[in-house]
Structure 1
Amino acid sequence: MIEWIRIKNLALIEEAEIEFKPGFNVITGETGAGKTILIGAIGMLLGERADKTSIRTGCSSCEISMSFALPKSVAKSVSEILDSAGLPPVEDKVIQLKRILTATSSRNFVNDSSASLQTLKTLGNILIDTHGPHEHQSLLKQSIQLELIDRYGSLEKITSEASEIFEGFKKTKFEREELEKGIPSSSEAEHFRFIVSDIAKAGIHADEEEELVTRHNLASNSHDILETATNAVGMLKESEGSLTDRISEIYRVIQGFEGADPDMAAKFLKQCESLTETANELVEGIQRYTGNIELDEKEFTELEERIRIIQNLKRRYGPTLADVIKTAENARIKLDEFENFESIRTSFIEKEKSLNDKLLKKCSEISKKRHEISAKFAKKVCAELRKLGFARSDFTVDFKQTEPGPTGSDVVDFIFSPNPGETAKPLREIASSGEISRVMLALKTVLSSADSIPVLVFDEIDVNIGGETAMIVGQELKALGSSHQVLCISHLPQVAACADTHYSVEKSVVKGRTFTAVSELKDTDRKSEIARMLGGGKAAEKHAEEMLSGK
């Protein structure tokens, strides 16, 4: 439910905070006082495009915010929407929406995190249903009407089964069509066969090119490497005055003071031996290395030929060796598809037919249940409409068949005729907002046990009614308030007297500026407001007191 709405610098409202209560909330006030500003503010928070001319004259921006306590019926859906939008999860089962509007921009927030207008709209579709002029009316959409029939009849399980079958059918059909589109012709298959053979006979592997290039570089420079290595070995050991010869001379010199300081001499002699050993190991390592890089002419020719083969493959199927290997894999897959096309296609067709048969059977089962449910549903709606002033109206649910889909094969339309002799029309074609609002109220009353939208907002629900009908409308709104939070703008005292909570919108002029204020009415103030709606005077005050005491 809406806990509170705060408005700053919107149209005639300089600053206001309204704390709404559970149940039936009514908003009254003189014509032009600004009641519709509240409905407009709610609409803006539901993601409707904002008219920047609504910013209060003399102000650079306006700000609207709302706190919404989430019931269990929508908590999961809200969490999924926030997660999909990359927004933080809800804390303490409360979500706050905010919009800040300037002449050039609009900033939107969900729980103080920046959000898109579409996210507000998506949240609004499951939190608040607004009925009135120029407001989105979800119950007029055929898809929503079908959903409500299903929820009214508790058909969620069977429709979910149909949806699962349909998704399987759609996936199988898509895969079969993709197979048919992608199947190569005979000439293409021959080309793929050549590619597979051409690459396969080369016997390449992923790391081969790098290995060949390394070996080729060594072989190409082997003469220089061998010459340099021979010089190094000579300097280390084999030439006159080599490193090992010099170490031997140093060894003999150190032996000269063994008698004077045997400990230090032994230490230095051991280090000389270690140097000699290291030099010998270095010589052996260089000789092993040079032994590996020596290639005879035949081996070098074979190496260059192998590199040429790989370069040719890269030119044809590359640009890299990995691309060549991938090309071979793809060609092999296409060739397999060609060679096994008929058997694969047949298996898809058989699966597709099986799923389609299951879907048709499930759709028929769903349609039968919907027809049974709709007859009971229409009867209850007619009874509610009679209470609301349509004594001889007619309401039916019209069915048409369409292609089987995730919701079955039915398209429904709520059909309404307000009076005998008038052409029955789909609900969405009714021109009178007063008629629409009362039909909506009848539907909401019947559907209240199955409707998950927690807040209902009605504007102009009392247009063209009065007397006993108005009292019944008020009573129906109060009854609806037991399962939903209801907000209603009303001009009728009979409706206002039935509300659980009453708010008044008043306009005043201070120092040449117009201001609108919203306040909750209690006791005497509420009686005075209903008396004003009755026309004023002592008789009206007495009547107001009677209406309130009997509500």
Structure 2
Amino acid sequence: MLRALDIRDILIIDHLELNFQAGLNVLTGETGAGKSILLDSLGFVLGWRGRAELVRQGAKQGEVMAEFDLTPDHPAHAVLAEAGLPTGDTLLLRRVNTAEGRKTAWVNDRRCSGEVLRALSDTLLELHGQHDDRGLLNPRGHRAMLDEFANLADMLVTVRERWTTASRARKMVSETRIALEAIRAEEDFLRHAVAELDALDPQPGEDAALDLRRRDMQSAERIRGDIQRAQSLLTGGADAALSDAQRWLEGVADQAQSALDAPIAALLRAMIELGEAQDGVARVLDGLDFNPGELEDCEERLFAIRALARKHDVLPDDLGGYADTLRQKLAAVDAGDQDLADQEAALAEAEAAYAGAADQLSAARRETAAALDAAVMAELAPLKMERAVFETRVTDAEAGPEGKDAVAFTVATNPGAPAGPLNKIASGGELSRFLLALKVCLRGETGNQTMIFDEIDRGVGGATADAVGRRLKSLADGGQVLVVTHSPQVAAQGAHHWRVQKRVVDGQTLSEVVPLDDDERVDELARMVSGDTITPEARAAARALLAG
């Protein structure tokens, strides 16, 4: 709850320190006394967008501090944790606005952004009034209010989970279809390319091996003739001549008295070397011997491998791996239909599960809408609007994580009159009472949030104003409600009362807020009853109001 508000140099406020308490806190005062400035100041420290110029004339800067008490389970703790800000039992907000328009904010003495302030504001405070566009008058929030009234949190969790599951399944099906369409667009190419690669079956390292073999065969063609001519000379009688020479020399060796031994040994060695030369040349010729068609086949395969490599823009040694990649794509095409069918079946199951949960949620909403209508109508009767009709309309909407319903609060202020949106049909006073009746019916645990009602009693008086005040008091039980009011019947219901008034200091008009004791409160209520001149009758009426 809001514990304290400290305002310095804001508009016509020089310095105000306000200490609020639990229960119903009322602020009264003449029109123009500065009650709206208090709300502007509170909105400023909470990060709301409001007046552009707030700094009091002549001051260098304006400053507002607000202190809130937090329960251990207060949702503000989660906002603070997410923002990396310190938390505890007390929350201190401070915001400064310089005369040049620069704004700076602190939360528990740590600098923070306006966005963090606004996030905290949503957990700390509710503002309701005739121009309330943040709460009950905002149709975008009506569904959430109905769900809270019906305690549908568990059903909402189920619907959100099933929506998420269906969304993921839908995305998977879409991605699979797109991938399949892309692959099918090149299916003919894939099948032709794989068949072509399978027929050739290139192996890693084959390009280099074929190129070496081709070079060897081309080289063999160039040197084979010379080697054959050399062989013909080596085998064309040289060995026979040497053999004849050896025989003739050996026949006369005895007569030469060993003079021919050395030449005969040399001839023998020459014959052995000649034989080795003949064998070596023969072996080389055998190695150079190849089928002329083999060179043609080698070149044809080498050129085919290199042509495929250029066609697919890969290295020759990578053709095998590239073929495997294409086969995987083809396998995806072949298996894709089954995968898609499985995914579509899973999607259908997820959508059916979502539809079932959403239907249950819709049924619960429609059933609860009738209960909410009855509750609001019961509250309208004491507020002198027993002839008005309130209806919560639940209509079909585009499916989403919150279900497939649109919810809108509609009213008809007179029997037979057409119903319409709450903020367009009701007049100012009627709207105030509709808002109050709704808030009474929709209230949950009020201890976590401070509720502010800004002149919600405008346009009503007498017994109706008394009924408004009693409902505001009821709302404040166990929590905190601040009411800016011109109605003495409403003000009399307050547990704590402040008067907003103006004073002139050194020719300058300033606004101040004065807490009222019991006697001062009687005078203030009497002023509200009779005007500037307070009569004994007005005081008696004030005491009667306070006595209840």
TM-score (norm 1): 0.71
Match of 1:540 in 2: 538
Q: Which amino acid aligns with 1:162?
A: V
Aligned with residue 527 of structure 1, among 503, 522, 526: 522
1:141 CA drift (Å):
3.0
User: Partners in 1 of 2:203 and 2:373 — Cα distance?
Assistant: 76
Match of 2:88 in 1: 91
Aligned with residue 128 of structure 1, among 125, 138, 142: 125
**After the TM superposition, which residues 219-258 of structure 1 pair with which residues of structure 2 at under 5 Å, given as runs?**
none
User: Partners in 2 of 1:480 and 1:389 — Cα distance?
Assistant: 19
Aligned with residue 479 of structure 1, among 471, 474, 485: 474
1:447 CA drift (Å):
1.7
Aligned with residue 398 of structure 2, among 395, 403, 411: 403
Structure 1 contact 6–64 (Cα < 8 Å) conserved: yes
Structure 2 contact 446–480 (Cα < 8 Å) conserved: no
1:135 CA drift (Å):
4.3
CA 1:465/1:523 → structure 2, altered by over 3 Å: closer, same or farther? same
Could you report, residue by residue, the CA deviation over 1:483-516 in whole angstroms, capped at 9, with x for unpaired residues? 4311110001111011011011110111110111
Aligned with residue 500 of structure 1, among 492, 495, 515: 495
Equivalenced residues, count? 431
Match of 1:368 in 2: 363
Unaligned runs of 5+ in 2: 206-305, 316-320
Aligned with residue 101 of structure 1, among 94, 97, 103: 97
* SS at structure 2 position matched to 1:487: strand
User: Partners in 1 of 2:76 and 2:372 — Cα distance?
Assistant: 29
1:413 CA drift (Å):
0.9
CA 1:134/1:153 → structure 2, altered by over 3 Å: closer, same or farther? closer
Q: CA RMSD in A?
A: 3.2
Match of 1:82 in 2: 80
1:72 CA drift (Å):
5.2
Aligned with residue 119 of structure 1, among 102, 116, 136: 116
* SS at structure 2 position matched to 1:387: coil
Structure 1 contact 459–490 (Cα < 8 Å) conserved: yes
User: Partners in 1 of 2:29 and 2:347 — Cα distance?
Assistant: 62
Structure 2 contact 130–432 (Cα < 8 Å) conserved: no
1:367 CA drift (Å):
1.7
Q: Which amino acid aligns with 1:539?
A: E
2:174 is the counterpart of 1:177 = yes
* SS at structure 2 position matched to 1:444: helix
CA 1:24/1:345 → structure 2, altered by over 3 Å: closer, same or farther? same
Match of 2:145 in 1: 148
Could you report, residue by residue, the CA deviation over 1:266-323 in whole angstroms, capped at 9, with x for unpaired residues? xxxxxxxxxxxxxxxxxxxxxxxxxxxxxxxxxxxxxxxxxxx9xx99x9799xxxxx
Match of 1:436 in 2: 431
User: Partners in 2 of 1:330 and 1:138 — Cα distance?
Assistant: 59
Structure 2 contact 7–15 (Cα < 8 Å) conserved: yes
User: Partners in 2 of 1:399 and 1:129 — Cα distance?
Assistant: 25
Match of 1:514 in 2: 509
User: Partners in 1 of 2:384 and 2:16 — Cα distance?
Assistant: 36
1:529 CA drift (Å):
1.0
Match of 2:449 in 1: 454
1:382 CA drift (Å):
0.7
User: Partners in 2 of 1:533 and 1:459 — Cα distance?
Assistant: 17
Match of 1:52 in 2: 52
1:397 CA drift (Å):
0.9
Match of 1:269 in 2: none
**After the TM superposition, which residues 213-224 of structure 1 pair with which residues of structure 2 at under 5 Å, given as runs?**
none
User: Partners in 2 of 1:327 and 1:58 — Cα distance?
Assistant: 80
Aligned with residue 345 of structure 1, among 340, 343, 347: 340
Structure 2 contact 525–542 (Cα < 8 Å) conserved: yes
Could you report, residue by residue, the CA deviation over 1:218-262 in whole angstroms, capped at 9, with x for unpaired residues? xxxxxxxxxxxxxxxxxxxxxxxxxxxxxxxxxxxxxxxxxxxxx
Structure 1 contact 130–136 (Cα < 8 Å) conserved: no
CA 1:96/1:430 → structure 2, altered by over 3 Å: closer, same or farther? farther
1:98 CA drift (Å):
2.1
User: Partners in 2 of 1:316 and 1:162 — Cα distance?
Assistant: 52
User: Partners in 2 of 1:19 and 1:190 — Cα distance?
Assistant: 81
Could you report, residue by residue, the CA deviation over 1:392-411 in whole angstroms, capped at 9, with x for unpaired residues? 11111111112332222211
1:349 CA drift (Å):
0.8
Structure 1 contact 131–458 (Cα < 8 Å) conserved: yes
Q: Which amino acid aligns with 1:2?
A: L
* SS at structure 2 position matched to 1:343: helix
Q: Which amino acid aligns with 1:414?
A: F
* SS at structure 2 position matched to 1:420: coil
1:78 CA drift (Å):
2.2
Match of 1:28 in 2: 28
2:196 is the counterpart of 1:165 = no
User: Partners in 1 of 2:382 and 2:528 — Cα distance?
Assistant: 23
1:423 CA drift (Å):
2.5
User: Partners in 1 of 2:473 and 2:11 — Cα distance?
Assistant: 30
Q: Which amino acid aligns with 2:161?
A: E
Structure 2 contact 488–528 (Cα < 8 Å) conserved: yes
CA 1:403/1:498 → structure 2, altered by over 3 Å: closer, same or farther? same
* SS at structure 2 position matched to 1:124: helix
User: Partners in 2 of 1:385 and 1:329 — Cα distance?
Assistant: 77
Structure 1 contact 9–63 (Cα < 8 Å) conserved: yes
